[in-house]
Structure 1
């Protein structure tokens, strides 16, 4: 049957989008913030991506979100994109390397597990061990020269990971629009909030962005936002949270390699050890959830 073939291919494509595209967006953000004010760039990115998706979906006849759905999308957009992505963009603007930023955000599954406790999720010993190991990894990461030179950047990255985790957990309990319209509404609302924050912070475009700055913005709009974020929202609806957040295993490696190859970034021994510890912790947390039987997903 065609549908039987399409479903696994769609899953594979969604996972590849998260693993490879999101791993590369850290470098693109690093390039972009050299030309753009950070909150302005994030706001423009999500406004354009959200408007393109929303216009296309409405043209295809997808119903507009209801008032309750717009409100839910604004909450999730604020957490995932405003605080999560906005925090990463600010941290990289504060000169945190793209690889270390990706590594810090890899702690997100730890926060996902902790926030899940508020909704009655039971935690196994293996998962608690993963949390403990992850906290050790965060400590090691902060011993490295990259984050020691920017305590502000370190705080932003941990805040961003926690906000993204809370938004991911909360997204399953709010009346979001169906399918890609959820991504479009979240990006539109988050983009508007980021632009307001940019104005309140007094950001100004002092000169026209370079060709690299425009290219980074275009890549983030098309691939980092429309393609990868839609893939993430799709996976949150169709697979276990541990599977949806498994990109955290791969993104730091992709980001570190790209940063070293194209941005001349350096990863010290403390940060390399932190990478090993954090990724091991995320795997420990994911193992029990991967082994649980798959439950039939109710359509929402």
Structure 2
């Protein structure tokens, strides 16, 4: 059924991406004060996956084929193990939550570049956006946060690239439908994150604080079940550029929350990088939004 028959569902899905995902960067920062980063990221996905799968089977949802299991497992690694795990590790290294969100705002740039693999040729305005985005990344790395943590910078850009590639590739694949897709991807991503946690020797030094438990619960319910489900729904119903439009809003939400609730400091280079990166993402999105508007007329 066309997505236009569900306007409230679309509005709710976009709201989940804009507001909930914008807030998860601060919640991750709170969480890593109590949890090892890979362990927390793995629990964030494995718990809802193990809750969802039996419920979906009881409701009659078809079990994925072997090929669908393979695809969802690989996508779980790209989107969650790398895409989210690397962000969690970067914040554990001390990168401010707002700066982490700003680095992930480069996802539409990577999405456009990976589109070349599927024959999607950028227009002149989009190439301008890519060039501007690269300038923004350079400015961001001049800021105090990423300059103090080169590994954190590498992790964040790897996360953005992996998320973009997985999002583009998913459009070409035979995947399970609905929440079965969500559960299978979270299962694959969560298993790999927990394995990485064990292999790197992560251990809980002491019992998590109340804030740590609250952060994990928030990430499971809102960040994973609700917002990630909304993202996968939008990937199936709108163009990738629209599905990744959260990149405009998340950095602003994350920066404001980080300043107000965590006392984070954002210097001049990082504010300038925000303006440049958001302008770049806007330039990249304009041609696709225009094409969608013409098609709707």
**Into which bin does the TM-score normalised by the smaller protein fall?**
over 0.9
Describe the shift of the 1:187–1:148 C-alpha distance in structure 2 as closer, same or farther (beyond 3 A).
same
Shift of 1:4: 8.7
Secondary structure of 2:34's match? coil
Deviations 1:214-266 (A, max 9, x none): 00000000000000000000000000111000000000000000001111101
Q: Can you give the 5+ residue segments of structure 2 that lack an aligned partner in the other structure?
A: none
Q: How many residues align?
A: 294
Given that 1:53 and 1:226 are in contact with CA atoms closer than 8 Å, whether structure 2 keeps it comes out as: no
TM-score with structure 1 setting the length: 0.96
CA distance in 1, matches of 2:94, 2:163: 21
Q: Does 1:123 align with 2:122?
A: yes
Q: Can you give the 5+ residue segments of structure 1 that lack an aligned partner in the other structure?
A: none
Given that 2:110 and 2:161 are in contact with CA atoms closer than 8 Å, whether structure 1 keeps it comes out as: yes
Secondary structure of 1:236's match? helix
Aligned to 1:168: 167
Given that 1:91 and 1:153 are in contact with CA atoms closer than 8 Å, whether structure 2 keeps it comes out as: yes
Q: What value does the CA root-mean-square deviation take over the aligned residues?
A: 1.5
Within a 5 Å distance, the mapping from 1:152-163 to structure 2 comes to 152-163=151-162
Secondary structure of 2:84's match? helix
Shift of 1:96: 0.2
CA distance in 1, matches of 2:4, 2:152: 44
CA distance in 1, matches of 2:126, 2:286: 8
Aligned to 1:70: 69
Shift of 1:295: 11
Given that 2:36 and 2:203 are in contact with CA atoms closer than 8 Å, whether structure 1 keeps it comes out as: yes
Q: Does 1:254 align with 2:253?
A: yes
Deviates more, 1:160-169 or 1:171-180: 171-180
Shift of 1:64: 1.4
CA distance in 2, matches of 1:241, 1:45: 25
Secondary structure of 1:173's match? coil
Describe the shift of the 1:208–1:173 C-alpha distance in structure 2 as closer, same or farther (beyond 3 A).
same
TM-score with structure 2 setting the length: 0.96
Deviations 1:258-277 (A, max 9, x none): 00111110111100000000
Shift of 1:294: 7.2
Within a 5 Å distance, the mapping from 1:1-300 to structure 2 comes to 7-293=6-292
Given that 2:3 and 2:237 are in contact with CA atoms closer than 8 Å, whether structure 1 keeps it comes out as: no
CA distance in 1, matches of 2:122, 2:5: 34
Describe the shift of the 1:5–1:174 C-alpha distance in structure 2 as closer, same or farther (beyond 3 A).
closer
